[in-house]
Amino acid sequence: MKWILIRHGMTRGNMEKRYVGCRTDESLCPEGIAQLKQNLYPAARHVYTSPMRRCLETAEILYPGIRSEIVPDFRECDFGAFEYKNYHDLNGREDYQTWIDSGGELPFPGGESRAAFAARCVRAFERIRKKAPQEDCALIVHGGTIMALMEAMARPKGNYYDYQVQNGCGYILEEDGSSQAIP
């Protein structure tokens, strides 16, 4: 059995390099839709998604006709005060520099910590893993969700930031923890 982990397609916020978390429910942009339609993705029999519009739209494009099961805890991190801001908006802010200096370990001001976010995602994955059919399953989620799951599950072990992926990209994760990048 394979777990196909795919980051949702591109949004306008992604194009502008913004922190697009769980507070912003934006749709895919036309460029993101076109990019998804150009790539080939592995087949899946079951699809699990974040509840965010960008993930639901991606699932519909990549796996039409397969009903997505929404997993609320697969939603993106709560970026708090940094939500929908980019480097240019945040550069020079003391709270942003403090967060950067922590290596991304401190909680976002008014938001979630990486550790709490990752634990939420891994718990959700373990819940669906126990009940999932023994057939290949796709998870259409966020970059951070993929990073959290890969850090916890992939072998050989890597760290969270080793698993950054572009929009529409991801990994195939085998039950034994082996993985390969897609597309």
Chain centroid to Cα 77, Å, comes to 9
Q: How confident is the model at residue 183, as a pLDDT?
A: 84
Q: What is the pLDDT of residue 175?
A: 87
Quick one: pLDDT at residue 71? 98
| Spans of the chain below 70 pLDDT | none
Domain total in the chain: 1
CATH number assigned to the domain comprising residue 8: 3.40.50.1240
- Note the pLDDT of residue 134: 86
Would you state the pLDDT for residue 157? 92
Q: What angle do CA 47, 39, 23 make, to 5 degrees?
A: 55
CA angle 125, 120, 24 (to 5 degrees): 105
Cα–Cα dist 91/69, whole Å? 38
The dihedral built from the CA positions of residue 71, 120, 127 and 145, taken in this order, carries a sign that is: positive
The three-class DSSP label of residue 49 is: strand
> Rounded distance, CA 2 to CA 39, Å?
19
Alpha helices, DSSP H, located in 65-169: 87-90, 94-101, 114-131, 143-153
179-182/2-7 β-pairing: unpaired
Residue 76, domain extent: 2-182
